[in-house]
A = this chain, B = another copy of it.
Amino acid sequence: MAKAPQKEETPALDRIDLEILKLLQQNARATIKEIAAGVHLSTTPVHERIKRMEESGVIRQYVTLLNASKVGKGLMVICYVSLRQHSRHAGDKFIKSILEMNEVLECLTISGEFDFLLKVVAANMDEYYHFHVNKLSAIENVGNVQSVFVMGVIKQTHQLVF
Residues in A lying within 8 Å of B, measured CB to CB: 10, 13, 18, 21, 24-29, 56-68, 70-73, 76, 78, 95, 98-99, 102, 104-112, 116-117, 121, 148-162
User: Considering residues A21, A27, A63, A73, which has the most beta carbons from chain B within 10 angstroms of its beta carbon?
Assistant: A63
| 5 nearest A-B residue pairs (beta carbon) | A102-B161, A28-B28, A107-B154, A24-B64, A28-B62
Assembly stoichiometry (copies) = 2
Q: Which residues of B contact A149 (CB under 8 A)?
A: 110-111
Please measure, in the bound complex, the distance between the C-alpha atom of A22 and the C-alpha atom of B146, giving whole angstroms.
30
A160 touches B62 (CB 8 A): no
Please measure, in the bound complex, the distance between the C-alpha atom of A98 and the C-alpha atom of B102, giving whole angstroms.
30
